[in-house]
Structure 1
């Protein structure tokens, strides 16, 4: 249930904010359940639950965070649980600081070092770093201001320059390979440890040549962004957000606009996947502005794809389709990976097929989704995370066409692929499919699949 204030002590703060939204108690409860589900938490709140909160009950665990996020989404401004009359959550100061894009890059390095060391210990940080969608607004604004004010800055290619830069880039390549093969969960702790204990202190040293320092800041930005992606892959969404925000600030110091666009693409992906597609579209558009003059068409492919994902989640078929077409055009313009920044060489038509399949899934276009997801499955035999996600999307496409046998069989194959892969993104794709099976729960094959999936996916809502 939760704790309760003194007898008769109603929650006036929560009441005022709900009144401002103009939404019903039932609508708030539904949104809270949706946001919780996106982060792997099963809640079953209803309008009676909201009444109890208004009467002074504080819901358990992360519910105040989800309530604040739901109301912030309705109003389009940041709201904290404390603003709603809920008790302050005890957090280390770094958890709050890491949501800020700071002008002083020295403060960013200190924040990263402390965040990483606290993260590794996990004792005080675990469960205390909520995802805050509205916190992505200011970093986006600060980045765009930097982009306008620093228009003459060199658009650096991230090439090894010997010494510490070459060493860091070798580490990046190794971590990327491990992440792609085994998922973010298998390598996340190593990345965070290297970033906080080796790379951040390295950048705090003096007397480094300017060119080397800029390249090292760029490499650190890439490493921090990878820590963000790996945190995303382990369902540590609040940590993912914080690492990506700090990565964007480091990237401004390095001046690499291609990488900056890719970090914004990651932030867009995170926002859309966690139920904030309007913010996801905004971040993707900021990335497009960033990357347009950077001479890297492949970088734009990913950003247009992220915009399409956001528009699809919003139900805007026209804009989603236009964004996919833009992604296809920029892919055609690229002269190949060798002519592109190292940060985007992995992007190709197979990547676009996989993202387009998700867009068509969210738009309810089963035939297109099936064709593209199947192509992605065939092309990504060595990448089990991408295979699992694309098979989940393919299963949904089959289900929408009333091909239940094929749908369940394909999803079962996706489950098998995840053995030894630590990827919450893959798990979430399968949970999305499982939720669509609810009308078919009377079928023996569905019951068998749900039983098989339970150890990995948890109990269905």
Structure 2
């Protein structure tokens, strides 16, 4: 039976999209709203309405990254993974499939080197970064450590002569600290493209080489740290779809290296991201799996790192008792730690110090409705924060200002925002940009205040 085309446009109506819309029970306005929400998670602010959906239903094919965003919106609504082919927006001539693979890039056993090479294409502005993949709830379902290791058996091979020697591996290891320092001081957007290119040109090719087992472990450890770090940089720059894919690749590298501590650190980062985006149950589950994975495989400082995130995620899920218990566990583990000077966010993986614990305590208290306690804890976090951690200090000052304003402390809020604006011009960070937008929005009703006029003027020049 011939497919009918619209006489006016010559397009074939998208019957698959129409059927999915009827199955999920959404109006065209509701689909537009859902797609806007998925896009916002990766920093792409859309204002789609029913007219856009009407065009899609009539057969117009939206440009990337729109198809991936539509597929994710339907996947969430129907609670099953849909591909671009399933929604009628895949390559023409392809039939629908239900395995959730190819079109959205979720092969069950990805090659880490190939994935790093593919992801390096998405180094530009937010629309291009979103094209690297929408943030997908299906990718938050990850195996526990035992299952992950069991699914990747150890390969026994005859050692071959390799072009990679200890010197090359030491160079890669040294780059971990170089890129970490840049991220901590200047924000994730400053060196993200450079790190993505470095992973592609210098690291990915070596992952396919045969080499001595000890040397391979060192290479995989450095590759895992760098991949985790670029994931965090993407998170900091609010490119959440890309961040998620880099985190998944870091999980794969940690599994290949039989490194449960790195696996747990990456799960913890995925939990942080899920909570920030409002996926609270997923965040709590990921934090729980991180804690379980770290048992027997991490030092006390690392265990504090995991328990602190579990406290925040549990508080976000409205579990007061669980949050207080997890926070107490984090405090105990940090007290047992012998080192308290490792940077918090960035590489080395799993770093933690008192400023980080105070930060998590502030988040827990704020989520549980204790605004005054949150202010006290966040102020302590800022006092203990190392001077080199400019990005963290700026974002914490912005958050402290918001908490003060919530309590009606206008002068204290102004002081905290002034400290934020001091650091802001030196940062390239999507989170910092969002904090600046929040500052402008919240201070606008108080625009007649002289200090606020001056603050807003400085922000406009930043």
Q: Does the pair score TM above 0.5?
A: yes
Aligned to 1:156: none
| Residue number in structure 2 paired with 1:371 | 376
Give the gaps of 5 or more residues in structure 1: 154-160, 457-461
1:303-343 Cα deviation digits (max 9, x unpaired): 2333333334444444433332332232233343599xx94
Q: 1:61–1:109: structure 2 CA closer, same or farther, 3 Å change rule?
A: closer
Whether 2:309 is the aligned partner of 1:306: answer yes
Which whole-Å deviations, capped at 9, do the CAs of 1:159-196 have from their partners, x for residues lacking one? Answer: xx954333222121222122211112222222222211
Contact 2:122 2:132 in 1 (8 A): no
Match for residue 358 of structure 1? 363
Matched with 2:402 is 396
SS in 2 for 1:78: coil
CA distance in 2, matches of 1:13, 1:455: 49
Where does residue 5 of structure 2 map in the other structure? none
Separation of aligned partners in 2, 1:331 and 1:313: 22
Cα distance per residue 1:13-44 (max 9 Å; x no partner): 45554555566777666555544444334345
Give the superposition deviation at 1:351: 0.8
Query: Is this contact kept in 2: 1:98–1:246, CA < 8 A?
Result: no
- Structure number with the higher helix fraction is 1
Q: Return 279-288 or 9-18, whichever deviates more.
A: 9-18
Moved more, 77-86 or 272-281: 77-86
Give how far 1:289 is off.
Answer: 1.8
Give the stretch that moved more between structures: 191-200 or 323-332. Answer: 323-332
Structure 1 residues 131-169: Cα deviation after superposition (integer angstroms, max 9, x where no partner) = 33224245x12755124578999xxxxxxx954333222
Instruction: For structure 2, list consecutive stretches of 5 or more residues without a partner in the other structure.
Output: 1-7, 93-100, 156-164
Residue of structure 1 in register with 2:289 after alignment: 286
Counterpart Cα distance in 2 of 1:22 and 1:363: 35
What TM-score, normalized by structure 1, do the two folds share?
0.78
**CA–CA separation in structure 2 for the residues paired with 1:62 and 1:443:** 42
Distance in 1 of aligned mates of 2:327 and 2:134:
28
Confirm or deny that 1:195 pairs with 2:175.
Answer: no
Q: Equivalent residue for 2:412?
A: 406
**Counterparts of 1:262-273 in structure 2 under 5 Å?**
262-273=265-276
SS at match of 1:419: helix
- Maintained 8 Å contact 2:401/2:416: yes
**Contact 1:37-1:43 at 8 Å conserved across structures:** yes
Contact 1:259 1:343 (C-alpha < 8 Å) held by counterparts: no
8 Å contact from structure 2 (residues 13, 58) kept in 1:
yes
Residue deviations 1:327-373 (CA, integer Å, cap 9, x gap): 2232233343599xx94573012111123323333444311211111
Question: What is the correspondence of 1:60-459 to structure 2 with a 5 Å cutoff?
Answer: 65-80=68-83, 83-85=86-88, 99-100=106-107, 102=109, 107-116=111-120, 118-119=121-122, 126-138=129-141, 140-141=142-143, 144-147=146-149, 162-206=166-210, 208-336=211-339, 343-344=348-349, 346-380=351-385, 381-432=387-438, 440=445, 453=459
Structure 1 210/284 Cα, relative in aligned 2: closer, same or farther at 3 Å?
same
RMSD of aligned alpha carbons: 4.1
* Contact 1:98/1:245, CA 8 A, preserved across alignment: no
Question: How far is the alpha carbon of 1:406 from its aligned partner?
Answer: 2.6
User: Partners of 1:413 and 1:231 in 2: how far apart?
Assistant: 25
Q: Secondary structure at the match of 1:141?
A: coil
Distance (whole Å) between structure 1 residues aligned to residue 312 and residue 91 of structure 2: 35
What is the CA deviation profile of residues 225-247 of structure 1, one whole-angstrom value per residue up to 9, with x for unaligned ones?
11211222233322222222111
In the TM superposition, what whole-angstrom CA distance separates every residue of 1:107-139 from its partner, at most 9, and x where no partner exists?
A: 3223323433x346889955421333224245x
How far 1:408 sits from its partner (Å)?
3.7
Contact 2:265 2:350 (C-alpha < 8 Å) held by counterparts: no
